[in-house]
């Protein structure tokens, strides 16, 4: 591809490609922003109080079109709308490919508390001139430079880090090869108690346990979550003095999918832990010795059921086949999803070809906001937006276990009845609109800044 290029030319190509990449994403973001601005202008006051309000409806259309999650769609909508309505001069240099998006994101966030349009205009003009020279800076340095502008023009609008105690958090995320990562920031006494409790549990095994102290502390997490007073010893001796110790006061439940041969230790095919990925076969077989095993039915063994609520067996199949909400780009796991009939019951049966996972937001979107779905026998969903655009989502579980995607019965269903003219009255409502919530949060932070200045006036 670059056989005829010299090294200097390759460097030029890198720079040109980087500018084109920045400009391309800027055009996408501005298109999202313009679409958001136009669609918001169409919303009625009544819809702004809906749980699935105009913003959520726009986010659904954007996420489906771009194949991204609802959160990413909302982020792009906010950034695009802000550039159009508050920072148009900064938007111009962004579209020209002169500014990296991380500079744009930092500038938008650090100026978000400014409420005076004249101050926003001055900041916008300064950013348009200075931001192109900030691409090589760290995010921390960019924030410092933006804050310097803000504090000079509107001190109440400076973004101040909350008290560290309010920022405490615990995060759990997928790692690699069946592992996960845990990180966070907690209060010192809580950390000390947690640390000591892991040590206590790690010490409940006999001296012949082959694990290191660090490994035993790690293995104590599940017993700790279950309220156990000890962890199982792995010495393998039938006379282990720790064998009679209490292991768990309450069971913990996680759902892992694996083939029967893997569970029996006869296959090297990994299991799958939703949200975390592959789990090595040896780990699955070891866990299966003490786990409660529930078979997932074969698609050919499932048919129509006589009730609205699906049976436990059908529920397990649907959750394993779909793995997440079936709306395009949504990755909400089964624990946060409803099992929805594509053709409403009783016009459509409780059947694997007519039921699938939908998170509550996208379930309400389908019920009240003009989206429709057509389910195929293999679990594939064909979504149609209110504007007539179509999007297809295959069942996620079948990507890992193809047998879950085997077609079930092809249904011939009668047309659903027309929606009730009073259907909209059943939509859950908000107490305040999204705009009112934002205005409240902005004023709250500005008030905190004013109170801080009054208590400890800045030396300038």
pTM value > 0.95? no
3 state SS of 216: helix
Q: Is residue 369 within 8 Å of 51, Cβ to Cβ?
A: no
Which residues, 6+ apart, have CB-to-CB distance to 152 below 8 Å?
Answer: none
Q: What is the DSSP pairing of strand 355-359 with strand 337-341? A: antiparallel
Dist CA 171 CA 298 (whole Å) = 36
Who's near 369: CB < 8 A, 6+ residues apart? Answer: 52, 57, 60, 386
Dihedral in degrees, nearest 10, Cα atoms 291, 297, 299, 300: 150
> At 249, phi and psi to the nearest 5?
-95, -20
How deeply is 415 buried, as exposed, middle or buried, from its count of CB atoms within 10 A (0-12, 13-18, 19+)?
Answer: exposed
| Cα gap 31→33, rounded to integer Å | 5
What's the pLDDT at 255? 82
Supply the angle between the helices 7-42 and 70-85 in degrees, to the nearest 10.
Answer: 90
| β partners of residue 273 | 277
Q: Residue 400: CB partners within 8 Å, gap ≥ 6? A: 257, 272
d(CA 321, CA 272): 12
Q: What is the pLDDT of residue 256?
A: 87
Residue 14: C-alpha distances to residues 344, 406, 449 (Å):
54, 46, 44
- Which stretches in the chain have pLDDT values below 50? 162-164
pLDDT of residue 163: 46
SS3 category, 339: strand
Q: Which residue, chain included where needed, has tokens 């699938």?
A: 356
Query: What is the C-alpha to C-alpha distance for residues 385 and 371, in angstroms, rounded to an integer?
Result: 5
SS3 107: helix
Q: Which of 138, 141, 110, 139 is nearest to 124 (CA)?
A: 110
Give the number of C-alpha atoms closer than 13 A to the C-alpha of residue 315, restricted to the C-beta side: 13
pLDDT at 168: 77
Q: Strands (DSSP E) along 303-365, which ranges?
A: 337-341, 355-359
pLDDT of residue 189: 63
Span between the terminal Cα atoms of the chain, in Å: 58
Instruction: Count how many Cα atoms sit within 13 Å of the Cα of residue 85 in the half-sphere of its side chain.
Output: 18
- pLDDT at site 250: 52
DSSP secondary structure of 31-76: HHHHHHHHHHHH--HHHHTBSS-HHHHHHHHHHHHHT--HHHHHHH
- Distances 24 to 21, 94, 96 between C-alpha atoms, Å: 5, 10, 9
């Amino acid at each position: 591809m670059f056989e005829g290029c010299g090294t200097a030319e390759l460097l030029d190509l890198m720079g040109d490609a980087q500018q084109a990449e920045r400009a391309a994403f800027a055009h996408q973001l501005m298109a999202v922003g313009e679409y958001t601005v136009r669609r918001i202008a169409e919303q009625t006051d009544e819809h702004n109080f809906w749980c699935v309000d105009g913003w959520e409806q726009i986010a659904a259309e954007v996420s489906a079109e771009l194949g991204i999650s609802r959160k990413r769609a909302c982020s792009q909508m906010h950034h695009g709308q802000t550039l159009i309505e508050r920072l148009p001069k900064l938007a111009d240099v962004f579209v020209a490919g002169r500014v990296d998006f991380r500079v744009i994101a930092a500038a938008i966030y650090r100026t978000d508390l400014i409420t005076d349009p004249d101050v926003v205009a001055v900041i916008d003009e300064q950013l348009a001139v200075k931001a192109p020279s900030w691409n090589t800076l760290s995010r921390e340095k960019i924030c410092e430079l933006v804050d310097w502008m803000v504090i000079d023009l509107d001190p109440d609008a400076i973004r101040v880090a909350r008290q560290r105690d309010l920022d405490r958090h615990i995060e759990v995320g997928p790692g690699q090869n069946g592992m996960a990562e845990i990180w966070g920031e907690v209060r010192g006494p809580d950390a000390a108690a947690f640390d000591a409790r892991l040590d206590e549990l790690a010490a409940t095994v006999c001296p012949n346990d082959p694990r290191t102290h660090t490994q035993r502390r790690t293995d104590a997490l599940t017993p700790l979550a279950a309220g156990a007073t000890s962890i199982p010893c792995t010495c393998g001796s039938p006379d282990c003095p720790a064998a009679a110790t209490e292991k768990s006061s309450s069971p913990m439940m996680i759902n892992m999918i694996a083939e029967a041969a893997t569970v029996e230790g006869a296959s090297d095919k990994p299991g799958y832990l939703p949200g975390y990925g592959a789990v090595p076969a040896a780990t699955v077989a070891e866990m299966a010795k003490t786990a409660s095993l529930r078979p997932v039915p074969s698609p050919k063994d499932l048919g129509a059921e006589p009730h609205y609520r699906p049976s436990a067996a059908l529920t397990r199949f649907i959750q394993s086949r779909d793995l997440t909400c079936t709306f395009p780009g949504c990755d909400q796991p089964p624990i946060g999803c409803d099992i929805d009939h594509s053709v409403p019951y009783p016009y459509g049966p409780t059947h694997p070809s007519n039921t699938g996972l939908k998170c509550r937001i996208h379930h309400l979107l389908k019920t009240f906001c003009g989206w429709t779905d057509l389910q195929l026998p293999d679990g594939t969903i064909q979504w149609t937006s209110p504007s007539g655009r179509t999007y297809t989502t295959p069942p996620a579980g079948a990507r890992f276990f193809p047998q879950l995607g085997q077609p079930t019965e092809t249904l011939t269903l009668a047309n659903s009845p027309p929606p009730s003219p009073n259907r909209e009255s059943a939509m859950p409502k908000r107490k305040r609109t999204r705009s009112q919530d934002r205005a409240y949060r902005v004023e709250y932070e500005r008030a905190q800044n004013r109170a801080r200045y009054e208590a400890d006036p800045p030396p300038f």
